[in-house]
Each structure stands twice: as C-alpha cells, then as structure tokens.
A and B are shown apart, each in its own frame.
Chain A
Amino acid sequence: MTTTFKQHLIDPEICIRCNTCESICPVQAITHESRNYVVDAAKCNFCMDCISPCPTGSIDNWRLMPQTQPYTLAEQFGWDDLPAEKTPEQLAAMGVAEGVTVTADDAAPQAQTDAAPDPTGQAPFNPSAYNATLPPWSAAHAYTNLYGPRAAEAFVTATVVGNVRVTEVGTEYDTHHLMLDFGAMPFPVLEGQSIGIIPPGADAQGRPHHPRQYSIASPRNGERPGYNNISLTIKRVLQDHQGNAVRGVASNYLCDLKVGDTVQVTGPFGTSFLMPNHPRSHIVMICTGTGSAPMRAMTEWRRRLRKSGKFEGGKLMLFFGARTKEELPYFGPLQSLPKDFIDINFAFSRTPDQPRKYVQDLLRERAADLAPLLQDGNTHTYVCGLKSMEEGVVLALRDVARGAALNWDEIGARLKREGRLHLETY
C-alpha cells in the first residue's frame, strides 16, 4: 500500500525569488529556474532551516502526497499558484487507502488524516507550526558547525571504540549502539544535538555521499564520563519508506563498523532541541525507535546529576513506542531505572494477542498527569522519531489540553515561544 508524506512546497504566488532559502538549505534541496523556486522532495530532510529566514512565508507550505508520487521539479517549475490539497478520493485514486496515512514502519504511530483539525478553516494541521526554534531558557550554549563544508575543517576523524547491538538478535531490525572517540580533537556536544556522518565512497552519479545525520545518545560529559567520546543509536535501514528492499548507505556502513575503524564526522548540529538545566524543570519525552537517542542522552545526564547530588527535583516522563519489546533499543537498561526518577510508558504495536498501541494512545491515557505538566512553565516536551509520528503526537497533546478545558492554541503558541516544545523527526 502506498504511504503518504507532507511534501514541502513553495507558494509561487507569494515567493519573491530572493534566493534566501536556496542559499541557506544545508542539503541543496532548493533550486530555481527563471520562473520558480522549488523544493526537491527527494532531498529535503525537513530540517526547517529555511523557514524563518524566508521573508515572505511562502516557503512554509505542505501538501499531503503519496510518497511514491511527489510533485516533481518539472511540475513545480510550471506553477503559477500552489495546487489545492488532494482530496481523499484523489489520494485513493493514487493508491493511498482512503483518509489514512500508512507509515512504512509499523512501529510508528498511524496518523489519521481525517482526524486532522483545521485551524484556519482551510489548511491541513501543521504540527511543525508548534515546533520551537529557540532552546529552553536555561539550556547550555551549544556549539554548532565546527566541522562541515562551511567551517574551517570539512570533517573530523573519529575512531570507533564500541559497536554493540541493542535490540535482540533474531528480530527483523537490528539497532546498534555505536561509540566514537574524538581523541584530541574538539567536539563539544550537548544532549539533543546531532552529528553528520560522511559514508565513504560515491553515489550513483559519482558524487561523494552526502552526510547523514544522527542524534547523539550520550550526555555532555561523554558516553564514558570524562572522555572525549559520544554514542549513537543507529537503526539498520533495509527497506525504504515504501517497504521496498534497499540497503541504506550510511546506516549499514555504521552498523557494520569494527572497533578501531575511523569515520568522518561533521557537526555538531542543533541549537534548539536542547534540555533545560534549571533544577526544577520537568522533561516529557516522546519517541519511537531511534528517536530514543536524545532521550537516552537527557535521561543519562539527569541520572548523573542526581547521583552526584546536584539535582533538586523535576519530573521525567518517557513515552516510547516500538513494534515489539524485542525491537525496543535500551529496553533492559530502561527497566532498571528507579520509578521515582523516571515515569516510563511503553507502546507496542505488534505484541501478539494484544491490541496495537501507539505513543499517542499512551499520551491520551496519561492525560490526567500530562495536563498539569502542559500548564507548568517548567515543563519541556521533546518529540523524536519517524516523521510520521509528529502529527499524531501533537494532535494527542492538543487533545490532552482540550480535555482539561485548556486553550490549545494559546498553550501551543506559548510552548513554541518559550522554547518548550521540540520536534525532531526524520
């Protein structure tokens, strides 16, 4: 069955062709002809770097499309205005089951497009509109782009010092916990940031591979405290989003690395998906699959602080989804964290003889505890995992707010403004 995604498009009626977006896009997803500026669906990774610098807002347009049939560049070059959102019937005619966004990875929640609200009366629900671009007020200062095409050094070389599988052997998807050491090279990081890995070799056109991004899974003082190392959580990609067999370039390269191998790293990246540092801050973490990496980093940093007696309070709440418990990275270690330290909620969508459960179901179940947190200025919420979870999760948060007779539009806007809701999906 065909899956859908939100295609990133530019409104040619409002765009003034100023070139800002093209010059800012880190992956060259934006190009132009004499007529229009357009986004290449095959390249855009939804990093949102282009959104706020665009002087017109024309860059911030999204259309639900079948993953296999996005609007092509040629189509977009010919537009005078944006096409209307496809109706469920049109999508069905293109092979999408009516009204439903089916995700490739069933571990991810199913977003019901027919449940999408319509804040303006016309536009589809746009969860990224609530995504904060500023960090929490008490976040530490992040370094970014120390290595990369626009920095003094194109990359830094790191050495693999550990590579272990963190999901059970024998399940379909293996996920690896990879440790990298930077030796004497500076690579300061914070929980929530990500790095780029440049896979060796070249793509089909003979160009060097573009770097792939991975969230850092270790806390700021190292996977091993006091050492210049970090860890990553890598899922081996063996199928594309449509379920066709492919061998993901970077993920397979990384999962197969041996201790002692070296890798080329760019980054660090990320200045807003950062944890609060004030002692009474609460953290709500919502993730699927490898979206757990930044959550592990934050949890571990809090655990270390608590152990050293430097932390006063603040709740941690984790909502974690996977197909089965065997596919859930870090399942074992998570189980052994004290209950008074972290409130853990698992959602499994493929446990035999049990109803499918997704993270947004869990959010609704725990509404009574989440509603007061949503109103508390000390609460910071993080969402990370597959792109397709984003809409469902933000809608669930909205339902939690509405269920408690709160005005979601106000709360959502405040969360964004105060750097308290962060979405990172891929």
Chain B
Amino acid sequence: MSTINYSDKIPNNVNLSEDRTLQRALEQWQPNYLNWWQDMGPEGSVDYDVYLRTAISVDPQGWAQFGHVKMPDYRWGIFLNPAEAERKIHFGDHLGEAAWQDVPGEHRANLRRIIVTQGDTEPASVEQQRHLGLTCPSQYDLRNLFQVNVEEGRHLWAMVYLLHKYFGRDGREEGEALLERRSGNQDNPRILQAFNEKTPDWLSFFMFTYFTDRDGKFQLCALAESSFDPLARTTKFMLTEEAHHMFVGESGVGRVIQRTVDMMNQLKTDDPAKLRAAGVIDLPTIQRYLNFHFSVTIDLFGADESSNAATFYSTGLKGRFEEGKRQDDHRLKGQTYQVLNVVDGKLVEKEVPMLNALNEVLRDDYIKDSVGGVERWNRIIDKAGIPVKLKVPHKAFHRSIGSLAGAKISPDGQVVSQAEWDAKAKEWLPTPEDRAYVASLMGRVVEPGKFAGWIAPPVMGINRQPVDFEYVRFN
C-alpha cells in the first residue's frame, strides 16, 4: 500500500486521493516531469531559494501565498476553479444544455487536440527561456523569470491532468509526448512555430511575455468558455496566474524605455549610435523588436478563415473572448466578418461567414488589448518630453499564416514590392546587428537592489517588498 500523501505531493482540489487510476497515471508521469525540469528548466537554478507566489488553494487568500521556495519543491499541483452549480452551455449548437462533465465521444479527438496544443506551449516557453537566468539584469527580474517558469510548469500539469483523467490511454501517451518534444528541435519540435523561436535576450523575453503570453490569455479566455466544464474551470484558474506573465512583459519593456528616455534627456540626443555607446537600447531598435514579436504572435491565432474554428465554436468546444458578455445570439449563423486579402496589389476587406472567421475575431480582440499597453509605453516617452511614439504594425505586416502569408506589406499597411521590402526590412525588423548589440548588453546582475545599465528599476517590489529585497537566495 502506498503511503504517499497526495495532497502534499501533488497538491490538488480534484480529490486525487480518491481516484486510484488517475493517481497511478500521474505518479508515473511526475518523475518524468521532474527529470524534464532538471534537464530543460532554468539553467543552474536548482539550489536557489526564490521568493515565489504559490497557489495552495483557489480562493483569494489561498492562491497568492508568497515565500522563499526551492523551485524543484514548488507545489506543482492541480487546481480548478470551483464548479458553478448547474452551469449551462452558453454558445453554439448546444446552447442552453447542461455543460459536459465528461468528454462526449464525438468531440473527443478535437478536444484532445485543443488540450494538447495548449499544453505544448507551456513547457515550450520554459525551454525557450532556459538560459536567461545567466544574463538577468537584476535579482528582481530573475525572480520574475522563475515565477513565470514555475507557473508554465504548473499549467502543463493542469493540461496533463485533463489528458490523464479524461482521455485514457491516448491521453497518457499525449502526456508523455509533451515531455519529449523540445523547443527548436529539428526532429521533434514544439507544435506552434512561435514556440520554436529563440528567446535569446531579455528584451526578447519581455516582448515575448508581453505579446506572446497575451496570446495565452486570449486562448485561455476562449477555452474558459468551453462546454467541457473541467477544461473551462482549469483554464479559468490558469488565467489568474497568466496575469503575472504579462505584467513582467509590460513593465519590463516599460523599464527599458524608461532607462532609454532618461539617457536621451541626459545626453540630449536621439542618435542611436550615441545611445548605444552609452549602453542603452535606442527606441528604433525597440520598435523593430516590437514589430517582430507582434507579427509572430498574431500568427498564433491561425488562418483568417478556418473551418476548424467554426467547428470548435458550433460544437461548443471553444468560445470567443468574453463570450458571456456579448450581446448577440451566440450561434453566429448567417453573420459575416471582414478579413483582409491582397487583390491586385491592394489590401482589401472581404466578407466571410462569421463562424469561419472566428480566429480573426479573436486576433482582433487581441490586437485591441495589445495596443492598450503600447499606448502606456508611449506615455513614458511622452512624460520624458520626447516626441516619438511606438506603434503596433499593421496586422498584415510580416505574416506567415492565412491569406496574408507571404504578402509584402509595410508596417503602415502599404503593399510593397519585393525590392522595396528587401531594402526596408532592416528598418522594420531586428537586424543581426541589433540582436548582437542587445546581446552585448546582457551581463548578470544579482546583487540585491542593483540593476543593469539598460533597464530602470521597477516602481514597486513584488508583494510590496522593497526593490532591494532578497528575491533570490543563492545557496
């Protein structure tokens, strides 16, 4: 008989100790997970005590507990938002019926695919960020990186729980495969392309957490509407944690900008060369990084016309962002939506059935949300009295999915020739020189309260701790 206390070993609010089959499956998976973390988790961090926010339950008092924890001892666990009594399906063909507590046979394959795709992004970003700890600009930032990593790890747990609990043997195999794929690996890459890109430096990391983790927010929001109640409840809880990731990105880029504009005013110059000589990242470079991460991320929403998206919606697997707050019929039959196309060298809008355009609908919601934060970055520049604005590029810029794949469009939305693209691309996207310059700034700063020269300190510490708090204890 096993003497393991499951609520200690695998903290959960899903009554794991009463489900022997699930227990056994997860018990087998867990050592492999820990091996994966040893191999692919943050490099060199095994002995650190990190000031982490840990969820020990899902109520407001329980899910944000702060304290120093060794990351391998983090409470990786399974937390679902509390069930809503008699929850009803609120969109698609099954509108008004009771939400599913189990997987309906006919939707099994699609649901599994959705869960696997979501699950695959979680370890992928940990792998992408594996070496960043070696070049952190401060202890505060190092702690934030680790917080992001442990939560990605826990989100993987959440998806594996669903696979194990509801998808039998297929689910267990998919669970294994999640630990076998590797970001950027030629033979066995991660499922989505953005998760095979490198995150080579901290500016990329901040852009990634701002733009790409925000994609996560929108996908999770859409899944949190799902008729499959366990999926809805899991993703709802994941969302509460995802917020921190976007915070890391938004405040991170903001602090880079703050430092740059301070230096611009100090040196009274906007010359990138002089600013680089002074060790800060010039605004045009930041704009190019922004263009890159934004365009790569909006590709993640998929093709602009998709029959899969229509099926996922009509069958109730995946809703829209804030489905519950929308005022339409939640079936969307016979409605249309505009998507972009290039016709005769011009961008034109084309009307397509709404159901087929749901990827585009989600992408547009995402874009609105992203723009808000860029405006807040602009306020930093504005406050410093500098007449420059960062801009989100046109949504047709640098796309490689759907009808815009390969179209040559400038950041302001003009169709351009191949020649013009080739001539201008270095003004629009980060060049190898940009990347080399940013890489040259990456040194490791870990003394409490000290910050690398290219980034400003944060306005506030984590959990109202002082900025020079000992966020990481190196043992």
Contacts and interface: CB of A to CB of B under 8 A. Distances in A.
A145 B82 contact: yes
A50 B60 contact: yes
Interface stretch (B237-245, B308-316, B410-418): B237-245
A151 B379 contact: no
Contacts of B59: 144-145, 271
A376 to B, nearest CB: 24
Nearest to B247: A55
Interface stretch (A13-21, A201-209, A318-326, A360-368): A13-21
Given A24-B60, A133-B61, A152 B251 contact: no
A56 B461 CA distance: 9
B459 interface: yes
Contact of A18 (B66, B246, B460): B246
A24 B63 CA distance: 11
Contacts of A80: 379
Interface in B52-67: 59-64, 66
Interface in B26-72: 59-64, 66
A271 B56 CA distance: 13
Given A34-B372, A271-B62, A19 B243 contact: yes
A78 to B, nearest CB: 14
A339 interface: no
Contacts of A23: 236, 239-240
Interface in B98-141: none
A136 B368 CA distance: 45
A300 interface: no
A29 to B, nearest CB: 13
A287 to B, nearest CB: 22
Contacts of B422: none
Contacts of A271: 59, 61-62
B433 interface: no
Interface in B369-390: 369, 372-373, 376, 379
Nearest to A18: B243
B83 interface: yes
Nearest to B373: A16
A18 B84 CA distance: 23
Nearest to A142: B61
Given A14-B459, A16-B251, A20-B243, A53 B63 contact: yes
A142 to B, nearest CB: 10
Contacts, number: 74
Contact of A14 (B60, B242, B373, B460): B460
A310 interface: no
B369 to A, nearest CB: 8
* B60, B84, B373, B463: most-surrounded residue (chain A CB, <10 A): B60
Contacts of A14: 459-460
Contact of A16 (B62, B66, B250, B459): B250
A154 interface: yes
Nearest to B60: A49
A144 B62 CA distance: 11
A57 B376 CA distance: 17
Contact of B464 (A34, A50, A57): A57
Interface string A37-52: 0000000000001101
Contacts of A272: 61
B85 interface: yes
Nearest to A154: B85
Contact of A56 (B62, B239, B247, B372): B247
A307 interface: no
A55 B143 CA distance: 13
A153 interface: yes
Contacts of B247: 16, 18, 55-56
Interface in B428-443: none
B225 to A, nearest CB: 14
A151 B83 CA distance: 6
Interface string A3-41: 000000000011011111001101000000011000000
A129 B463 CA distance: 11
A24 B62 CA distance: 12
B450 to A, nearest CB: 21
A62 to B, nearest CB: 14
For the side of the interface on B, what is the size category?
20 to 34
Contacts of B63: 53
A152 B83 contact: yes
A81 to B, nearest CB: 9
A52 B64 contact: yes
A55 B148 CA distance: 12
Interface in B243-267: 243-244, 246-247, 250-251
Nearest to A56: B247
Contacts of B459: 14
A34 B62 CA distance: 30
A24 B240 contact: yes
A144 B379 CA distance: 43
Contacts of A13: 376, 379
A60 interface: yes
B62 A55 contact: no
Contacts of A152: 83, 85
Contacts of B217: 18
Interface in A279-300: none
Contact of B60 (A16, A53, A60, A154): A53
Contacts of A133: 61
Interface in B388-434: none
B82 A150 contact: yes
B85 A16 contact: no
Interface in A375-402: none
A186 B244 CA distance: 37
A56 B60 contact: no
A409 to B, nearest CB: 12
A412 B307 CA distance: 60
Contacts of A17: 369, 372-373
A15 to B, nearest CB: 9
Nearest to B210: A16
Given A16-B250, A50-B60, A133-B61, A34 B368 contact: yes
Contacts of B240: 20, 23-24, 53
Contacts of B83: 150, 152
A55 B61 contact: no
Contacts of A24: 60, 240
Contacts of A60: 464
Contacts of A16: 243, 246-247, 250-251, 373
A13 B251 CA distance: 11
Among A52, A151, A152, A153, max chain B CB count under 10 A is at A52
A272 B61 CA distance: 8
Contacts of B61: 49, 52, 133, 271-272
B236 to A, nearest CB: 8
B85 A151 contact: yes
Interface in A109-145: 129, 133, 144-145
A56 B460 contact: yes
A31 to B, nearest CB: 11
Contacts of B82: 145, 150-151
Interface in B315-340: none
Contacts of B379: 13, 80
Interface string A148-160: 0111111000000
Nearest to A25: B60
A56 B251 contact: yes
Contacts of B62: 271
* Residue from A34, A49, A56, A154 whose CB has the most chain B CB atoms within 10 Å: A56
Contacts of A144: 59
Given A24-B60, A53-B60, A53-B64, 14 more contacts: A16-B247, A17-B372, A18-B242, A18-B243, A49-B60, A52-B64, A53-B240, A55-B244, A60-B464, A133-B61, A145-B59, A149-B84, A152-B85, A271-B59
5 contacts: A13-B376, A17-B372, A18-B244, A24-B60, A49-B60
The 3 tightest CB contacts between A and B, nearest first, are: A18-B243, A49-B60, A55-B247
